[in-house]
Amino acid sequence: MGKTLHFLNDYESLGHENVLQKLQERWSEYYRGYGFDTVSEKVREQIRKFTNRPQASTYFVAGGTLTNLLACSAFLRPFESIIATDTAHISNMEAGAIEATGHRIINGSNVNGKLTPATIEKIVKENQAETKTVPRLVFLANSSETGTVYTEAEIAAISKVCKQYDLFLFMDGARLGFAMASDKQDLSLESIAKYCDVFYIGGTKNGAIYGEALVITDPELDRNFIHAQKNRGALLAKTYAVAMQFEALFADENLNEVQDFSETLYMKNAIHANKMGRLLAEAFVEAGYELAYPTESNQVFVYLPLSLCEELSDKVSFEISEKLENKARCRFVTTYRNTEADIEELAKLI
């Protein structure tokens, strides 16, 4: 029997219908390869406008792990390392992809899934000896692996420490839309570009069929980057296929061009997903269940009895993150496709 309620992740469905429509509109046209096409340049210009960074460069990559691998390796010398939290995706969920490039990940403690300036400074000071790798890049994900989000003040403080110790700041934006749509934060795309040397706008989890837009704000880091992209097998011949998807996501619901990032379909998708996440978290709390982490975006972590997990599994797709003695920590992820009726139906089951 197939599942009727889908909360397993934010890439269970193929993509938003506007993305498919945009690809269909351009189906019979021809484009230059490797990102030298008019659509890729159009989207790059939109990102420059949204970030207020005229010198920003954008590269289109197929997926999140490959984007992380590329960003974490292209800017580092062989003896340099990466600072991340102990919950970071690159540390636990990418099959050693980063380490395979020859760069160590130094994990620090997290606060609700987030990295702090104090942790960064501690790691830097502990790795000064000539026998150590040299911390050079700070990795953080927004939203985090626990669904929490960074405020502008938090990112500004991390950026300040990075500048103090000459570290690059890289933001994994696989779920950037959900972070920016959160009512717990005040970051704009412009402020992200102001504080981060590199970040990416994730498409795969927010309406694209696949694809991420990697943005480099520091011109020095952009030097020869396309060669690094090719070297890692990340340069797509049909780059325009990813760019077209962002072209649709950066328009409004009717595929009309917009002037402000907040008006894009990309943000409307994320706002809706977060709303569904809040409603779902409220349903769990009202039913008497404990949330594992604060619900600040589209990921809801909750402790459920193992017996209930088994009952739900017949109708609901969700993830059991960790089994404990008589209960499990479960993750439910909401998307632009979920409806209030979905939440109501799940509420009846719990």
Percent of the chain topping pLDDT 70: 100
pLDDT at res. 255: 95
pLDDT at res. 3: 79
Say if CB 198 and CB 221 are below 8 A apart: yes
Question: In this structure, which amino acid lies at residue 347?
Answer: A
Chain centroid to CA 310:
30
Distance CA 207, CA 246 (A): 9
Say if CB 146 and CB 112 are below 8 A apart: yes
Phi, psi dihedral angles at 316 (to 5 degrees): -120, 135
Q: Directed axis angle between helix 239-249 and helix 38-51, to 10°?
A: 40
Distance CA 210, CA 202 (A): 9
| Residue extent(s) of CATH 3.40.640.10 domains in the chain | 17-263
Q: Which CATH number fits domain 17-263: 3.40.50.700, 3.30.750.200, 3.40.640.10, 3.40.50.1000?
A: 3.40.640.10
pLDDT, tens digit (0-9, with 9 covering 90-100), for 6-44: 999 999 999 999 999 999 999 999 999 999 999 999 999
Phi, psi dihedral angles at 174 (to 5 degrees): -55, -35
Cis peptide before 321 (omega within 30 of 0): no
pLDDT at res. 257: 95
Burial of 311 (0-12, 13-18, 19+ CB in 10 A): middle
pLDDT at res. 6: 97
Architecture in CATH for domain 5-12+267-348: Alpha-Beta Complex (3.90)
pLDDT at res. 185: 87
Distance CA 211, CA 284 (A): 33
pLDDT, tens digit (0-9, with 9 covering 90-100), for 62-80: 999 999 999 999 999 999 9
What stretches in the chain show pLDDT beneath 50? Answer: none
Joined together, the tokens standing for residue 99 give: 């380490």
| Residue extent(s) of CATH 3.90.1150.10 domains in the chain | 5-12+267-348
Q: What is the pTM of this model?
A: 0.96
- Please name the helix (run of DSSP H) or strand (run of DSSP E) that holds residue 304, with its range, or none: strand 299-305
Q: Directed axis angle between helix 239-249 and helix 17-25, to 10°?
A: 130
Joined together, the tokens standing for residue 259 give: 């002037």
